[in-house]
Amino acid sequence: MFRFDRRHFDNFDWVLLILLLSISVIALFNLYSASYPPKPWGTPPYLKQAYFFLIGAGAILFILSFDYQELHFWNYFIYVGVLILLIAILIIGKTAGGAQRWINLGFFNLQPSELAKLTLVITLASYYSRKEVTDGYTLKQLMIPIILTAIPFLLILLQPDLGTALMLVFIAVSMTVFVKLRFSVYLILGGFGIGAIIFAWEKLLKPYQKQRVQTFLNPEKDPMGHGYQIMQSKIAVGSGGRFGKGYLEGTQGHLHFLPERHTDFAFSVWCEEWGFFGGVAFMALYFVTLIYALYASTFARDRFGMLLSFGVVMLIFWQAIINVMMVLGFLPVVGIPLPLVSYGGSSLLTTLAGLGILLNVRMRRFQGGMGPDHRS
């Protein structure tokens, strides 16, 4: 299983690695500012995040040591393992802020719902690469992917964590549309989606979740309550002006007006200190990296590698879009982190593991090998 050929270095995507390292370094500097001045007790968030980056680097090296085709076989065990963790959360999970989402490992609070995102990418990539069709998938052929998505979706919804649960839907829909559906299926699923939204609003959403949507539509109605986060985020972004207040000079963050400034609203801190042009420059670097990765995925040596790469890019893309739109007040606050930038061990390690898979696919794009069923 663990075979590494020095010739793989010749095919290693150094451009993608440099882009990712650039974002990571910027993110750590921003996280230092977001947690400044440091508290006199405990390990500061930026230092914890640096440790997670080191662990993630080790995870990437591990992932690069084997052919990504092995994931066809291990996918079954990974998927079941994550489901067990999601069930365990409901029994022994750590509760914070009214949500039961973490397993306390002593040195680290594991959030299995983050692992579920990457696991779903691997699972759907494996299914769609094995069950390839030429004229588009029918609704019957989509039943298994729907079930594979629905099980972790419902378990995460019970925590409750609507934001992460919806991320599974975004990932599944993106990968499913990518592999092509019959036109009638688009109509059926579109109608079902509209119906599901209406049903969820009337029967499933909790009062505080409805309040978030209402606050998004009119944050000024309750500026000191549910609208406080959005209002302070918009103030922080706007106060940065064209060129920002300067590094470590942001007042909204350092004077503690901006809540969750090192997690959900890390990008607000960046915009306040570096301004409009700094925010645009960072987002340009971020999305150029994603576009390059998406383009690079088309050169995978097989369908499984292409789907894996596409799924990882979509996992990061949707989280980034939702987080930035949330920070700017265009979407309700749903607790979606900005990958590589927001503080959070589970989120960061999941993102780095996904990037490790992407680099693995890129490194082996010219390598011959057996098809997807060689371990079945």
Q: Are 171 and 120 in contact (CB under 8 A)?
A: yes
Q: Which residue has the higher pLDDT, 174 or 299?
A: 174
Structure tokens at 275: 């301004």
Within 10 A of 178 (CB to CB), how many other CB atoms are there? Answer: 15
Q: Are 364 and 305 in contact (CB under 8 A)?
A: yes
Nearest CA to 307 out of 150, 121, 60, 141 is that of 121
Rounding to the nearest 10 degrees, give the CA dihedral for residues 137, 140, 143, 146: 50
Helix boundaries (H) for the chain: 14-34, 45-64, 71-92, 112-130, 143-157, 162-178, 183-199, 207-217, 228-239, 251-254, 266-297, 303-327, 345-363
Q: Is residue 1 part of a domain?
A: no
Average pLDDT over residues 250-255: 73
Burial class (CB in 10 A: 0-12, 13-18, 19+), 119: buried
Q: Is residue 372 part of a domain?
A: no
Residue 276 confidence (pLDDT): 93
Q: Is residue 85 part of a domain?
A: yes
Which residues are 66's β-sheet partners?
A: 2
Handedness of CA 14, 20, 23, 27 (dihedral sign): negative
Q: What is the pLDDT of residues 324-343, one digit of tens each?
A: 998 888 887 777 899 999 99
Residue 145 confidence (pLDDT): 94
- Total structural domains within the chain: 1
Instruction: Collect all residues with Cβ–Cβ distance below 8 Å to 217 and sequence separation of at least 6.
Output: none
Q: Which residue has the higher pLDDT, 359 or 221?
A: 359
Give kind and range of the element (H or E) at residue 103. strand 99-104
Host domain of residue 349: 15-363
- Token pair 């059926």: residue: 188
Q: β-strands 94-96, 99-104: how paired?
A: antiparallel
pLDDT tier at 374 (50, 70, 90 boundaries)? Answer: very low
Nearest CA to 358 out of 305, 319, 320 is that of 305
Structure tokens at 126: 């494996």
Which residues are 297's β-sheet partners?
A: none
Q: Are 285 and 363 in contact (CB under 8 A)?
A: no
pLDDT tier at 44 (50, 70, 90 boundaries)? Answer: confident
Nearest CA to 337 out of 357, 322, 350, 352 is that of 322
> pTM for the full model?
0.88
Structure tokens at 10: 């010749």
Q: Which residue has the higher pLDDT, 274 or 374?
A: 274
Q: Is residue 57 part of a domain?
A: yes
User: What separation, in Å, do the N-terminal and C-terminal C-alpha atoms of the chain show?
Assistant: 15
Q: Is residue 153 part of a domain?
A: yes
Q: Is residue 373 part of a domain?
A: no
C-alpha to C-alpha distance for 151 and 328, rounded to whole angstroms = 32
Q: What is the pLDDT of residues 282-328, one digit of tens each?
A: 999 999 999 999 988 888 889 999 999 999 999 999 999 999 998 88
Q: Is residue 120 part of a domain?
A: yes
Q: Are 109 and 97 in contact (CB under 8 A)?
A: no
Q: Is residue 136 part of a domain?
A: yes
**What's 65's DSSP letter?**
T
How are strands ordered across the β-sheet holding 94-96?
A: 94-96, 99-104, 109-110
C-alpha to C-alpha distance for 349 and 5, rounded to whole angstroms = 26
Q: Are 93 and 103 in contact (CB under 8 A)?
A: yes
